[in-house]
Amino acid sequence: MTEREEYITPGGRRRWSAPGRVNLIGEHTDYNDGLVLPIAIPLVVTCEGVRHADDLVRVVSRQRPGEPVRLPAAALATERDLLPGWARYPLGVVAEFGRRGHEIAGLELDFDGAVPAGAGLSSSAALCCAAAVAVRDLCAPEVGDRELIDIARAAENDYVGAPTGILDQAASILCTAGHALYLDVRAFGAADSGGFEQIPFDLAATGLRLLVIDTGQTHEHAAGGYGARRAECAAAAAALGVASLRDIDDAGQLSGLTDPVLYRRARHVLSENDRVRTVAELLRSGADPREIGPLLDAGHDSLRADFEVSTEVLDAAVDAARTAGAYGSRMVGGGFGGSIIALVDTAAAGRVEREVRESLASKGFPDARTIEAVAGPGAGPVDPGGRVPG
């Protein structure tokens, strides 16, 4: 019996889970071949799966009970536009395995997700990665983690049509409990192994908590602003005559950009990569994590002023968290809505959370909700008792 087969439930069904993420720092750097530093959060999507001896693929979600999908595996490539929106994520993963030559017929996958959608916490990557680990174990156990990340990203980019980078999928697959994942996207893409590092991240040991406050203002990545920012970064790189903004080492080189918008976009990417390097170095060296606070603040200010992906609601939440005594606070994820993080003393957490909520309510913004971000494990099999091994 292999390690994974131990987790077969009595009905022959097996379970997997994949987490959402928050990025400590390193926003809009992934598709510029840059640096990111996410942790996995304890909110996950679970997938229960089994194989049947037929040619069908079936997916169902507890959150969308009225929208189950059942279709022949051979129709995945042609029926995409007829599928309910949620089902395109897991079926995109199944289709991508099929496109790469794996036998994917006779699959049944049932999903149950606790990562709020549109909150900037990577619910779609959690859904794709839960599907990806399940399909790997059921159909293609030879697929390694790198390819799995690529499959989950291709499902979002090509099947769903959301032009994301690899931050979310890499975080969901590679993160480990108690660590932040330092990922150099360029090095990761170029190497057969390596390109990332697990950096110990244990805030409780120093009397700190990382609050994730979901403002309730949702975003949609398949539409609008995110793709526009990607295009602006590509245009800035082209104007500078480089393949990607990662090729620029020094902000002085940006003086070649005459378009003020492209200049600010590129300046964000460069300064954000520097912040990732500095935060990673502070954590690696065992510094007091309070020292990363000003870098979180600077990251938000750059996303607001240079990259222009923050919103009034996110800015108000960040301002309220700082006023309430957070060491640092910033929006997380792609922006245009979603969540903020706030680094706070454990003793002050309840007060900061309350003051942010009250401040948003007083301005007539949606109800905010808070989760605590403890660095959890990445995707994998779950035993019948619900425990994630390792």
Side-chain-facing half-sphere of 37: CA atoms under 13 Å: 24
Rounded to whole angstroms, how far apart are CA atoms 151 and 374?
27
By CB under 6 A, tell whether 165 contacts ligand GLA: yes
Residue 24 Cβ, how far from ligand GLA at the closest point, in Å?
A: 11
* Tokens read off for 233: 């970064």
Task: Please say whether the beta carbons of 264 and 305 come within 8 A.
Answer: yes
Residue from 96, 150, 168, 214 in contact with ligand GLA (CB under 6 A)? 168
By CB under 6 A, tell whether 159 contacts ligand GLA: no
Region 184-243 residues binding ligand GLA, contact defined as CB under 6 A: none
Region 137-156 residues binding ligand GLA, contact defined as CB under 6 A: none
Q: Is 367 a catalytic residue?
A: no
Rounded to whole angstroms, how far apart are CA atoms 127 and 93?
10
Among candidate residues 33, 150, 168, 306, the one labeled active-site is 168
Residue 84 Cβ, how far from ligand GLA at the closest point, in Å?
A: 21
3-state secondary structure the chain: CCCHHHHECCCCCEEEEEEEEEECCCCCCHHHCCEECEEEEEEEEEEEEEECCCCEEEEEECCEEEEEEEEEHHHCCCCHHHCCHHHHHHHHHHHHHHHCCCCCCCEEEEEEECCCCCCCCCHHHHHHHHHHHHHHHHHCCCCCHHHHHHHHHHHHHHHHCCCCCCHHHHHHHHCCCCEEEEEEHHHHHHCCCCCEEEEECCCHHHCEEEEEEECCCCCCCCCCHHHHHHHHHHHHHHHHCCCCHHHCCCHHHHHHCCCHHHHHHHHHHHHHHHHHHHHHHHHHCCCCHHHHHHHHHHHHHHHHHCCCCCCHHHHHHHHHHHHCCCCEEEECCCCCCCEEEEEEEHHHHHHHHHHHHHHHHHCCCCCCEEEECCCECCCEEECCCCCCCC
Judged by CB, which is closer to ligand GLA: 31, or 159?
Answer: 31
Residue from 19, 90, 334, 380 in contact with ligand GLA (CB under 6 A)? 334
Residue 164 Cβ, how far from ligand GLA at the closest point, in Å?
A: 3
Contacts with ligand GLA, 60-99, as mask; x by CB under 6 A: ----------------------------------------
Q: Which amino acid is at 36?
A: V
* Tokens read off for 332: 């997380």
Judged by CB, which is closer to ligand GLA: 15, or 219?
Answer: 219
By CB under 6 A, tell whether 167 contacts ligand GLA: yes
Judged by CB, which is closer to ligand GLA: 31, or 111?
Answer: 31
Residue 31 Cβ, how far from ligand GLA at the closest point, in Å?
A: 6
Judged by CB, which is closer to ligand GLA: 167, or 320?
Answer: 167
Judged by CB, which is closer to ligand GLA: 220, or 319?
Answer: 220
Judged by CB, which is closer to ligand GLA: 302, or 359?
Answer: 302
Judged by CB, which is closer to ligand GLA: 311, or 359?
Answer: 311
Region 19-38 residues binding ligand GLA, contact defined as CB under 6 A: 23, 27-28, 30-31
Residue 129 Cβ, how far from ligand GLA at the closest point, in Å?
A: 12
Residue 348 Cβ, how far from ligand GLA at the closest point, in Å?
A: 27
Residue 156 Cβ, how far from ligand GLA at the closest point, in Å?
A: 7
Residue from 32, 164, 244, 339 in contact with ligand GLA (CB under 6 A)? 164
Task: Determine the size of the site formed for ligand GLA (CB under 6 A).
Answer: 11
Q: Which residues are catalytic?
A: 168
Binding site for ligand GLA (CB under 6 A): 23, 27-28, 30-31, 164-165, 167-168, 333-334
